[in-house]
Amino acid sequence: MSYQDYLDDKKVILTVATTGGIHGKNVNPNLPEQPEEIAEHVAACEELGAAICHVHGRDEHGENDASRLQAVNDAIRERCDDIIIQNTTGGQSTLEARIAGIRTDPVPDMASLDMGPFNRGQHIITEHNRHNIQTLAREMKEKGIKPELEVFNNGHLNEVYQLIETGLLEEPYYINLIFGTGTFSIPSPENVLNLVRNLPENSEFNLLATGPHQLPLTTLSPILGGHIRVGMEDNLYFRRGEPVESNAQLVERTVEIVDRLECDLATPAEARETLGMN
């Protein structure tokens, strides 16, 4: 979790987030929404080197729907070899909706775990409290699901420490640092460095940044010993004014950058070992 990790040839875990629960095909028609579409994108990204896929479900109209996660998981397992499935438990207003992400059959390898509430636009707020967080963390631990701790701002990092104190997490802790607009962390290299300096010991960190910040800030992550998430959930443009054609296009660019940094990508098996999932 440092520049020395980069110098020591630490392998980079690449996550692809193919589709979220907010923007849809009306914003970019290339965004996958239905299970087979999502699985097709995930398979292409696995072939390029992605080790983890972050998964959302959508209904037949493209609206966020956690009950569709089972169908998405099934389609991914049908199309892919060994990619790690990470279901979302976010983007929902109730605990019952969130918990659907860890009650698929079989359960996912991983699941995201938001560390608190945040704003998502003019009229959207994602509500979340400590009771919900601990309830989800407890069930993940019982089922052997590795949580990815979603840190949308500095205050959420306090909640990571609080959750560690409860004994509901297993080392190494996997922390996703999120940069963007609204109540996300302000996207800048200085803020990345500050959050990385304040991470708990025995942590691995992943970095995602939205929109135009995806390329520069994710490039910084492996230099600091971290990992990378890209995908159309976070960014719908390949470059200014040019909509992205597919998730694979974003993954392919990231693979090239990692290669130019003289790093190697972790396979799904190597990612499991790094994150203590074996």
pLDDT of 189-234, one tens digit each?
Answer: 999 999 999 999 999 999 999 999 999 999 999 999 999 999 999 9
Residue 92's pLDDT is 77
Domain extents in the chain: 3-274
CATH architecture group of domain 3-274: Alpha-Beta Barrel (3.20)
Residue 33 CA to residue 62 CA, distance in Å, equals 6
**Is 24's pLDDT higher than 80?**
yes
Residue 118's pLDDT is 80
Residue 115 CA to residue 128 CA, distance in Å, equals 8
The separation between CA 204 and the C-alpha centre of its own chain, rounded to angstroms, equals 13
Q: How confident is the model at residue 127 (pLDDT cuts 50, 70, 90)?
A: confident
Residue 34's pLDDT is 97
**Is 119's pLDDT higher than 90?**
no
Residue 186 CA to residue 58 CA, distance in Å, equals 29
The predicted-structure confidence for 134-178, as pLDDT tens digits, reads as follows 999 999 999 999 999 999 999 999 999 999 999 999 999 999 999
Q: What are phi and psi of 93, to 5 degrees?
A: -90, -15
* More confident site: 118 or 194: 194
Q: How confident is the model at residue 126 (pLDDT cuts 50, 70, 90)?
A: confident
Residue 122's pLDDT is 63
Residue 39 CA to residue 77 CA, distance in Å, equals 8
CA distances from 49 to 77, 121, 252 (A): 16, 33, 8
